[in-house]
A and B are shown apart, each in its own frame.
Chain A
Amino acid sequence: MKILVVDDTEANRKLLSWILEDDGHDVVEAANGQEAVDLFKSNQPDMVLMDVMMPIMDGYEATAAIKDYLGETHIPIIFLTALSDDASLAKCLAIGGDDFLSKPINEQVLQAKIKAHSRIRDLNEQVGAKNEELKRLHAYNIREQEIAKAVFDRAMAASMQDSTNTRHYVSAAATFNGDLLLTAPSPSGGLYTLLADFTGHGLPAAIGALPVSQIFYDNTNEGKAVSDIAREINRALEKFLPDDMFAVAAIAELNSEGNRFSIWSGGLPDILITDAKGKLKTTLQSTHMPLGVLPDEEFERDVKIYDMELDDHVYIYSDGIPEALNPQGEMYGEERLLKMFDGSQKDPFVRLIYDIKQFTGSGQNDDITIIELVCKPTEMDEAALQPNHSKQLPWKVELDLKPEDLRGTSPVSTLIDMMGVSTIISAHKDFLHTIMSELFSNALEHGVLGLSSELKLSEDGYLDYYQQRSERLDALNDGFVKIAVEFTTNGEQGNLAIQIKDSGEGFDINNMRKSCDDEAFGRGVSLIETLCESVEYSEGGTRVDVKYTIH
Chain B
Amino acid sequence: MPVECAQDGGALTISIVGRFDFEMVQEFRTAYADKDASSYVIDMRGTEHMDSSALGMLLNMRKSLGEAANISIINCRPQIKKILTISRFDKKFKIE
Contacts and interface: CB of A to CB of B under 8 A. Distances in A.
Which bracket fits the contact residues of A? Answer: 20 to 34
Contact of A289 (B52, B57, B89): B89
B6 interface: no
B53 A289 contact: no
Nearest to A290: B87
Nearest to B56: A244
Interface string A282-296: 000111111001100
> Which of A248, A268, A288, A293 is the most central at the interface, judged by chain B CB atoms within 10 Å of its CB?
A293
Contacts of A268: 86
A335 to B, nearest CB: 12
A548 interface: no
Which bracket fits the contact residues of B? Answer: 10 to 19
A248 B52 contact: yes
A199 B88 contact: no
Contacts of A266: 86-88
A290 B57 CA distance: 14
A268 B51 CA distance: 12
B60 A243 contact: yes
B60 A287 contact: no
Contacts of B69: none
A285 B87 CA distance: 10
B52 to A, nearest CB: 5
Give chain A's interface secondary structure class.
Answer: loop
B35 interface: no
Contacts of A40: none
Nearest to A243: B63
A494 interface: no
Interface in B38-96: 51-53, 55-57, 59-60, 63, 83, 85-89, 91-92
Interface in A286-345: 286-290, 293-294, 319, 323
B88 A244 contact: no
A200 interface: yes
7 contacts: A243-B60, A267-B55, A285-B86, A286-B86, A286-B87, A287-B88, A289-B89
The 4 A-B residue pairs whose C-beta atoms are closest, nearest first, are A244-B56, A267-B87, A286-B86, A289-B88
Given A243-B59, A286-B87, A289-B88, 20 more contacts: A199-B55, A199-B56, A200-B53, A244-B59, A245-B56, A246-B52, A246-B55, A248-B52, A266-B87, A266-B88, A267-B83, A267-B86, A267-B87, A268-B86, A269-B86, A285-B86, A289-B87, A289-B92, A290-B87, A319-B52
